[in-house]
Structure 1
Amino acid sequence: MRFTVSLCMIVKNEEEVIGKCLESIHKQINEIIIVDTGSSDRTIPIAESYGATIHSYKWNDDFASARNYSLQQAKSDYILILDADEYFEGEYDLQKELATAKDFYIFPIHNLLDNERYFIHSAIRLFKNSPELRYKNRLHEHLDLEGKEKQMQWSKVSVSIQHTGYQSNTIIEKDKNNRNLNLMMQETKEHPNSYNFYNLGKAYMAIEQYEESAEYFAKAITDSDNQTHQADLLKKWGESLLQLNRSNEALKILYDAVQKYPAHTDLLYVLAEAYYDEKYLKDAASTWIKCTELGNKGDFISEGVSDYLAYAQLAELYKQEDNLAEAYKYILKAITSKRSHMPALKKYFEIAYIYAFAEDDIKKDLDISYKITRVEELQNLLDVLYTMRHYLFSGYLKSYNISPEKNVLAISYQYSKQYDLAKNSWYEVEHIPEENTIDILTLAFLLKDEKLVKSLQNVGEIGPSDIRILLQLLHNESIQMEELSSSLETLIFQLVNNLIYMKEFEAFQTVLQLLMGKDFEVKYQIGSMLNGHGYYEAAIDILVQAYHLDSENIQMIGLLGDICLRAGYFDDAEYFYTNLIERSPVYASYERYYRLYERKKDESRMQEIKQFIAAHYPMATWSQE
């Protein structure tokens, strides 16, 4: 038996997308009902070209009301609901699903985001034409099945509906975020229930007001048991708290959530982020690995959490732990899983830099894991190399016969150490982009070139007094860091960092001598930079000086212990970690202690610390094993 189907839509100014929507489904339906809420473009003529019946409707800030009006016009056995920015992709037979004659069908909605990302949620989109089935809620409207669901038969559909409405250009163009917030505030005032608090929290989250989103997610927890939105609610509550740097609260919420929803990959992924922020590094690693083993599971699925995003996080974690083999393994997995994910590509080059990969080895890795087959892939690679100021940038420009703008050409010369060519190129740049300030300043110090320094006047926040101080530094005259503006101080620290990155150690030493006095912060910042670039011995030398200036600084003590551990100075690491635990007896200190004895292969001390952690930190699941 064949069932008839009515497509019901509410629209306003959808000329850019409605044609694709109707083209994807019009041959499988018996009537198209368009409820128009005030279009002023070509939406209606396009819909009429597909045989649609148009019904005008005065918008009253209520999506459920408009939906229900469209349902009242339907004459078919079943109703299909689509938005104009949705469509079916490929071949699909509605009648094959309808042969089971269920009361309603649940479709996966494939929400397309920017940068080739997406997330998936599920919703009822095909259901029997019955007066009992009507929508509720001004926003995030949904079929009201309260008291009816147990009596109804339903089925999940494998084919997904593609949705483009969450792409940033659409959200900005239609001011969706502010519209949604206003509607949800009104809906929540009228119906203060868990589902509406949850959606109001999402509306605040969309405009990055995380205090408010966390507040409403907390309210939504009440009466959320056995509700389909609870898992996503817990995830988003945790995400909001992480954005507020309240990772301890987030960890407790997400840990309990995963006990209830162990097969929700999104929840696991955010739990791993909370573990990471709270320095539960062993559990962060094992939880991200679980994401990759579980695959895409749960009612809400974010693209990447089971593969390339988790792999990239693991690579960063293992890089911090100085575990080259694991960092390298996972970053290659990340690149292979999603070639267009530029942060993973950038992370690969960071790992290659820290561990001094040979140029031939880098090119071999790229040939295998990132072989360029499209213009977009080349553009992504060039963007990453430019952003990182990588020495390979120049070679790729030449290989592909690319003639960039003068400032980009100057960058390519400078970071492949063709300094005279870089200088001449900078001289030709009429208007210096603010992003190139540090590049010009670095080259000026390498060549002792006053002209380059003076060219920076009025670029960004650099004024005449800043130029005088920079020239003073250029001529090897000491400066007092505490007397500098915050922007100039930042610029000088960037200069130091750039000299380390470019391995220009003679110039680095010169600047260092001019800056290094008895200022704890200067020593701490420069020591941290050296550590970040993998120069552990030099970092220890400078940080020990800082330690003597402030032996109570917890950050300093922990950093010194970490660097000594990386450098293989186990006794020194033990000294600093013991001091750290005396001053900061928190979980992160004990895991550091455990890692030390793990490196020393001291089984007795490892077991002792593990038992202590198991007794005092129940969320450290590795210690329970």
Structure 2
Amino acid sequence: MSSICLNMIVKNESAIIAATLQNIVQHMPISCWVISDTGSSDNTCDIIRHFFAEAGIEGELYQDEWVDFAHNRNLALQRCHGKSDYVLFFDADDFFEGEVNHKDLTHHSYFMNMCDESKTTYYLRKLLIKNDPRFKWRGVLHEFIEDPVKDTGTLCGNYRVISGRKGARSQEKDKYLRDAAVLQAAYQKAADPDLQPRYAFYCAQSYHDAALYDEDNRQQLYRNALHWYKVRLTEQGFSEEKYYSLMRIGLLYERLADIPAAIPFLLEAFQENPLRTESLYHLARIYNHLEKHHLAYQFALMAKKVKIPEGNFLFVNHDIYHFWIDYELMINAFKVKDFSASYAYARKLLLEDRNENMAVRAIAVLRDLPVNLRSDSLRNKKLLRLRLDKYSQNTAVEELIRLLS
């Protein structure tokens, strides 16, 4: 089995670092560790030393001045050289869920499956690399590891690395605004032209996220995000960032109550990447809200034809694929009087029961389709009856049970 060195940079993580380290060693066979503390004023360093002493894993703890993410990560990475076969990067507020298949490592680097804490948004991140001195971190913020060999696999297993928000940096006030300022300055400085697209994209992302936490300045922050997403469209680089920027521009125009401006960008997002369906879903949702149900239904039908993309796709919203498209199909099929289709999607939402709110909405639609309910197969009726027991407090359930009898 390949040896793995854990490599981290930390600061003021005393509240979570012990649990994070315990989670890591439970999921990955760590043989040694190199951690850089960038100025903790709490007892983070003591906790790290104590944890690994108890675990019996040798390692090195350094204390370094902060410069930026690429500089400090490179400093930490350089100290790993010669200590292991592979290096695992990990943030202090991230954690594993599930079982990781870490045997038979052969690739020069590995993506790992990531998602947010709500388990809605999924993406890949390169967290495991060969202990090769040619690797280099790049970017002052939202940094990435540059692979000289271009031989990247995806670490298999039924697991996710949850990107947490409980770390010290995540608790800092105005984090996203400060991030936006750093990224905007980096873009304008233009020291690394090939990083310009990434800086523009994450500057937009930072303004967007800042708006979610600042109601008083939300409209202006949305406009700032809109500007930087449009800047990103003028650049080359990672195509997924262009797709996501097009979709976000459409959604920001919607939030700014400019639907005519939103529609073309959502359409263009699908044109940019027809392997992703989120923008079509949003078109269905918007036209449903506008009570243009024939249009909404057709966009939902188009969206349904696209499967969840697999591979290096950026920030894929699995809930849209799992139930939100079905919801739009259920509602808009009913509105255009395609009752058999509406019934089929309502039944699907209730039986799959991926989301309680969706199931409750499906119950309401099923209640309004008694003819379809009565004519369904005995097997489906039994399955529906079993599922309804979970929602016995819902006022529509009693009537449904009577119809199923």
Q: What TM-score results when the alignment is normalised by the length of structure 2?
A: 0.76
CA distance in 2, matches of 1:356, 1:283: 22
CA contact (8 A) 1:87 1:163 kept: yes
CA contact (8 A) 1:89 1:162 kept: yes
Cα distance change, pair 34–64 in 1 and its aligned pair in 2 (3 A): same
Deviation track 1:73-93 (CA, whole Å, cap 9, x = no partner) reads 113332211112223334434
Query: Contact 2:86–2:131 (CA<8 Å) still a contact in 1?
Result: yes
Distance 1:274 1:262 in 2: 19
Residues of 2 paired with 1:370 and 1:11: CA distance?
49
- Separation (CA, whole Å) in 2 of partners of 1:126 and 1:275: 44
Q: Which residue of 2 aligns with 1:334?
A: 349
Q: In structure 2, what is the Cα distance between the partners aligned to 1:143 and 1:269?
A: 33
Distance 1:94 1:367, change over 3 A: same
**Cα deviation digits, residues 224-257 of structure 1 (max 9, x gap):** 3554422222222222222223333332223233
Task: Name whichever structure is richer in strand by fraction.
Answer: 2
Count of residues in correspondence between the two structures = 363
Indicate which of 361, 367, 378 corresponds to 1:347. Answer: 361
1:135 to 121, 134, 137: 137
2: distance between equivalents of 1:5 and 1:218? 41
Residue in 2 aligned with 1:220? 232
1:308–1:335 contact (8 Å) kept in structure 2: no
Q: CA deviation at 1:64?
A: 1.8
Aligned partner of 1:196 in structure 2 is 199
Q: 1:392 to 1:259 in 2, by over 3 A?
A: closer
Q: Does 1:152 align with 2:150?
A: yes
AA at the equivalent of 2:387: S
**Native 8 Å contact 2:111 2:153 kept in 1:** yes
Q: Is the 8 A contact 1:238 1:270 kept in 2?
A: no
Equivalent position amino acid for 1:218 in 2: K
Q: Which moved more, 1:302-311 or 1:273-282?
A: 273-282
Once the two structures are TM-superposed, the CA of residue 217 in structure 1 deviates from its matched residue by: 0.7
Q: What are the Cα deviations for residues 15-35 of structure 1, in whole angstroms up to 9, with x where unaligned? A: 444334323443612211222
1:46 and 1:268 map into 2 onto residues whose CA distance is 49
Q: How far, CA to CA, are the matches of 1:225 and 1:277 in structure 2?
A: 35
How far did 1:11 drift? 1.8
8 Å contact from structure 1 (residues 250, 274) kept in 2: no
Counterparts of 1:308-457 in structure 2, within 5 Å, are: 308-321=323-336, 323-342=338-357, 344-348=358-362, 350-351=364-365, 355=368, 367-372=385-390
**Matched position secondary structure for 2:270:** helix
Q: For 1:134 and 1:370, locate their aligned partners in 2 and report how far apart those are by CA, in whole Å.
A: 55
Q: Which residue, 106, 111, 119 being the options, matches 2:116?
A: 111
Deviation of the 1:42 alpha carbon: 4.9
Query: What do the CA deviations read for 1:288-329 (whole angstroms, capped 9, x no partner)?
Result: 344444331150321211121112222332344455544343
Q: Are 2:350 and 2:359, in contact at CA under 8 Å, matched by a contact in 1?
A: yes
Matched residue, 1:35: 36
Matching residue's letter, 1:103: H
Q: Which residue identity lines up with residue 242 of structure 1 in the other structure?
A: E
Q: Rg larger in 1 or in 2?
A: 1
The within-5 A match list for 1:607-622 is none
Contact map agreement 1:4 1:77 (CA 8 A) in 2: yes
RMSD: 3.6
**What's the CA shift for 1:44?**
3.0
Higher RCO structure (Cα 8 Å, ≥6 apart): 2
Query: Please, what TM-score do these two structures have when normalized by structure 1?
Result: 0.51
Which consecutive unaligned segments of at least 5 residues does structure 1 have? 373-377, 394-625
Q: Check the 8 A contact 1:139/1:187 in 2, yes or no.
A: no
Matched, 1:205 2:223: no
Q: Quick check: 1:312–1:330 contact (8 Å CA) kept in 2? A: yes
The aligned counterpart of 1:72 is 78
Which residue type is aligned with residue 18 of structure 2?
A: G
Q: Does 1:240 align with 2:255?
A: no
Partner of 1:123: 125
Closer, same or farther in 2 for the Cα pair 1:34/1:179, shift >3 Å? farther
Is 1:288–1:314's contact at 8 Å kept on the other side of the alignment?
yes
The match for 2:278 is 266
For the 8 Å contact 1:238–1:250, the answer to whether it is kept is yes
The answer as to whether partners of 2:323 and 2:349 remain within 8 angstroms in 1 is: yes
1:199 deviates by 0.7
CA distance in 1: counterparts of 2:96 and 2:186, whole angstroms: 31
- Structure 2 gaps of 5+ residues are 212-220, 375-380, 399-405
How high is the sequence identity, in percent, across the aligned residues? Answer: 22
Q: 2:171 — aligned with what?
A: 173
Structure 1 pair 279/341, CA: closer, same or farther in 2 (3 Å)?
same
Residue 580 of structure 1 aligns with which residue? Answer: none
Q: Distance in 2 between matches of 1:8 and 1:187?
A: 26
Q: Distance in 1 between matches of 2:122 and 2:396?
A: 40
